[in-house]
Amino acid sequence: MSNMSAPTLVLISGFARAGKDTLATGILEWARRPSRKTNFADYLKDAANDYLLSLNLEGNFHDERFKVLHRDFLVAAGKLARSLDVDIFAKNLANFCPIRMSPDDLAPETVVCSDLRYANEVAVCQDTLHDLGWRVRTIYVATAGIGPANQEELDSICEIREKHAFDLELTFAPNSRNTIMQEGRYIAKSWRL
């Protein structure tokens, strides 16, 4: 199998509101192989939803409005999980990539993750997926005028940039949704996703 036809995990990093999810949507829109989007934080949100369910409470951390209202809980739970195993979210995502969701579903050959936040996440995904024949591609997204949401975001993004050379770095003008989508479509085509 040539490297261009290998199953691919695309990791997208950048500050909040820089266009990462929009780029991911563009990539998935034009991906020609079985594709799926999943993020490192999805596993945390699933666990938080299980917590609510176990207490017979209503809510869904995958719902943006609910998540924003209860972000402190997610942050605290994420810190706890990472203090017990710094690689836990990266391991979950990397192990998900080659898995079918159901017997009738094709295993994804392209997985797009739009919340790369820590340097160890790249290394864990590369180490885990390399032996399975996957390639890991990385993209850094910036939008003019968009800075870090907080000091932790700045520090973590700076650490990734110091330790890892991105395959692609993109900078967009403000309010460039269509341009970002088009770039995602171009990436899907040129990377043969």
pLDDT above 70 as % of the chain: 94
Distance CA 53, CA 1 (A): 44
pLDDT at res. 1 = 44
pLDDT (tens digit per residue) in 98-112? 765 556 666 789 999
DSSP SS3 for 139: strand
Structural domains in the chain, CATH included, are 3-190 (3.40.50.300)
Provide the whole-model pTM: 0.89
| Short-list 161, 104, 127, 144, CA closest to 9 | 127
Q: What's the whole-number mean pLDDT along residues 141-158?
A: 93
Task: Return all residues near 172 (Cβ < 8 A) that are at least 6 apart.
Answer: 18, 19, 141, 142, 143, 144, 179, 180, 183
pLDDT at res. 97 = 80
pLDDT above 90 as % of the chain: 82
Distance CA 138, CA 136 (A): 7
